[in-house]
Amino acid sequence: MTDALTHRQKMLTFGGILLAMFLGSLDQTIVSTALPRIVADLHGLDRFTWVATAYLVASTALVPIYGKLADMYSRRTIEVVAVSVFLLGSGLCGLAGEFGPLPVLGDGMNQLVVFRAVQGLGGAGLFAMAFIIIADLFPPAERGRYQGFTGAVFGVSSVLGPLLGGFLTDRGSNFLPGVAGWRLVFYVNLPLGLVALWFILSQMPPLRPRTAPKPFDFVSALLLMVGLGPVVVALQLNKAVYGWSSPLTLGLLGGGLAALALFVARSLRHENPILNFGLFQNKVFRTANAALFLMGGAFLGVIIFEPLFMVNVLGESATRAGASLIPLSLGVVTGSLLAGQMVSRFGHYKRWMLGGLALLLGGLSLLATMPPTVPYYRVLLYLGTCGLGLGPTMPLYTLAVQNATAPQLMGQATSASQFFRQIGGAIAASVLGAVLTLTLAQNMPAAAAPVAHQATLAEGPALAAASTRPTPAVRAAFSKAISRVYLFNIFLVVGGLVMTLFIPELPLRKSNDGPPVKIAE
């Protein structure tokens, strides 16, 4: 589909896709530092976690659907729709509460939650389509060096997001008098998104499907969203309030899993399923996605709980706790770029996966054994080591899946990889949060018990920012709890390493048009 494109056209398209992906990645981190001000302005402390949860639910549920649509229609059209929906959601988020309560939507906080869901509907496509379009532009033998940049984009946005969010929240009103600074956290997406749209519309080829599209299965799409939504919400509920055995949690999990079972049953019978379950017969697809599921949890296990250690054990400020993640992000950038370049040059991806996981295990082992008196700089070194190990997991597992997948199923296979990473992170965040809560309950002095909150994907940054300087007893309790969290995180990485050992090492194809290599089961 792209053989006739010049190198300049490919690189301009690649730049537009990375910019769109940067928007989605930045939005996952930039909002966290603005949340305290948003809550104060919109009077929504009781619903602040839903600002993150609404985005997560929408973006997770739509990833497989974007992959299917990419296999049926022009990739450019789907990308334009995704960016446009994301920008619409961003603009609406910035306007939340400006005109007071609205019919149906209610007050400003309710409006923001709904508009964040709209933003997530577009954000899902920014990630899924980036990897799909890169697969169209470059054959597997060359793709590693370009997919390595996706990890770099994610790492840079992880550092820039909290810093930019804090700056705009505190000083943004100086640039636009009369506009609350936190609103610029959403408005900043608009000019960047318009530039990305210009690149995509003016430089990107249509990238049409290789076969005539069949009718889209709307029933399966509905079942998927109805199933995944309640499951993700149940995982994100504060288990200190809604425990695993509470009627709400069980009801959401039961209803969601029932809808997902119906989705699987329909997909197995439908001529044009959203996810072709025949992909699971591919050994590379099975094992690589199982590893991604576990690695998604391991990554969030560091991102969420390390700021808690910094604040509640070392007594650092929220600003220094956030800054401590910079070495992690720089390590991810370096590891991702290096692994991508080496794979494109030498053609072996499995050894870099295993090397990265070994390095990650070393870093996590150091984090798990930190005493409460560990120096700040030493934690930074440990986090940098973890980042270097995590870096290769960004591009290489997806590359392995794409290299072993038929071209007409590339969208579904690629989006499935993103989906398993995201859902693995959501599940692990909930489980690791439960480990933290249980351990704190066993070790926290009674007078300090109220700080033993559930740390979830939605609550982590705000919980760290809200903490006060800890007493020695609180420091000891948090140190033990977070060490146990890292121990469980090590089990996730060991599981990912075992699955990686079973991924077949296939020659990287030099063309996008050739059939995938036959895999011996």
- Burial, 202: exposed, middle or buried (Cβ in 10 Å; 0-12, 13-18, 19+)? exposed
pLDDT tens digits, one per residue of 125-139 = 998 898 899 988 888
- Please provide the average confidence, as pLDDT, over all residues in the chain: 85
Q: Give the best-scoring range by mean pLDDT among 203-212, 392-401, 444-453.
A: 392-401
Query: Are 1-205 and 276-521 equal in CATH topology?
Result: yes
- Mean pLDDT on 179-185: 85
- What architecture does CATH give domain 1-205? Up-down Bundle (1.20)
pTM of the complete model: 0.86
Q: Does the pLDDT of residue 515 top 80, yes or no? A: no
| Spatial contact of 149 and 39, defined as CB atoms under 8 Å apart | no
Q: Does the pLDDT of residue 2 top 60, yes or no? A: no
Distance from C-alpha of 264 to C-alpha of 277, rounded to nearest angstrom: 8
* Structural domain spans, the chain: 1-205, 217-271, 276-521
φ and ψ at residue 412, rounded to 5 degrees: -65, -45
Residues 70-85, buried b or exposed e (16+ Cβ, 10 A)? bbbbbbbebbbbbbeb
Distance from C-alpha of 440 to C-alpha of 437, rounded to nearest angstrom: 5
pLDDT bracket for residue 460 (50, 70, 90): very low
Between 150-159, 254-263, 349-358, 492-501, the lowest mean confidence (pLDDT) is in 150-159
Torsion over CA: 63, 355, 29, 47 (sign) = positive
According to CATH, the superfamily of the domain at 276-521 is MFS general substrate transporter like domains (1.20.1250.20)
Residues forming a β-bridge with 102: 106
The residue that leads in pLDDT, 205 or 381, is: 381
What's the pLDDT score for residue 400? 93
Element housing 148 (H / E): helix 140-175
Angle between helices 472-501 and 283-312 (to 10 degrees): 170
pLDDT bracket for residue 251 (50, 70, 90): very high
Between 134-148, 420-434, 445-459, the lowest mean confidence (pLDDT) is in 445-459
